[in-house]
Amino acid sequence: MEALDLLGSIRARRTVDLNHLRPDPIEPATLKSLLEAANWAPSHGKTEPWRFVVFTGEGRLMLAETLATSLALLKGQDQPESEMLRQQRERQLLAPAWIAVAVEPAEKPRMPFYEEQWAVACAVQTLMLAARSVGLASKWISNAPSLHPNTARALGFAETASMMGIIALGYIDGEWPVGERRPIADKVRWIERHDERASIEARG
């Protein structure tokens, strides 16, 4: 498949449901290229706070067990029930690759924590656009189990790190979904004169 250019990837990127992914494995070199793209995201103060753990093959079962345990903890249970664990394993096997994402602030933070989170969000968006450019679908999941502190600890992130969710990656089974957006003109104001503020206040 021919790679899309940047604007093409931006327009064509869609969140794809796990049930619409093929089981075909993704080459490690491809995954590394996506992570390299994410590594060039902007970060205030050049902190580069994004951290990733990649799960493929049987490694996906570790992610499944971790998320099942976090879900059990959310329900006030020490360990997941067998049915909960089975469902989570089935879910994780729907995508050939998963990437857990965390934000890890510097030991002596120079920036507010929310700026570090924004930087990681930029890294995730960059990764998903790079994925679409090479024909890979993605789904960024930020539900309660994926954000639970147990998930960060169990996956080996630093003690100061906080989860930002998990990303499913895979080749789509069928046609790419077509997206829609309202006109950008409905969401933008243009200010071209220095006295524009006064005219806005005058109108009400």
pLDDT band at 1 (very low <50, low <70, confident <90, very high): low
Q: What is the mean pLDDT of residues 30-34?
A: 97
For residues 193 and 4, the model is more confident at 193
Q: How far apart are CA 55 and CA 59, in angstroms?
A: 5
Start-end of H helices in 5-80: 6-12, 28-38, 59-74
Flag whether pLDDT at 146 surpasses 90. yes
The predicted pLDDT at position 201 comes to 58
Long-range contacts of 5-9 (CB under 8 A, 24+ apart): 5/133, 6/129, 6/133, 8/133, 9/129, 9/130, 9/132, 9/133
Does pTM surpass 0.85?
Answer: yes
Cβ distance 154 to 66 under 8 Å?
Answer: yes
The predicted pLDDT at position 32 comes to 98
Q: How far apart are CA 50 and CA 164, in angstroms?
A: 9
Q: How far apart are CA 67 and CA 96, in angstroms?
A: 17
Flag whether pLDDT at 200 surpasses 80. no
Flag whether pLDDT at 72 surpasses 80. yes
Of 8-12, 102-106, 131-135, 174-178, the one with minimum mean pLDDT is 8-12
Query: Going from the N-terminus, what domains does the chain have, and what CATH number goes with each?
Result: 6-203 (3.40.109.10)
Flag whether pLDDT at 70 surpasses 70. yes
Flag whether pLDDT at 198 surpasses 60. no
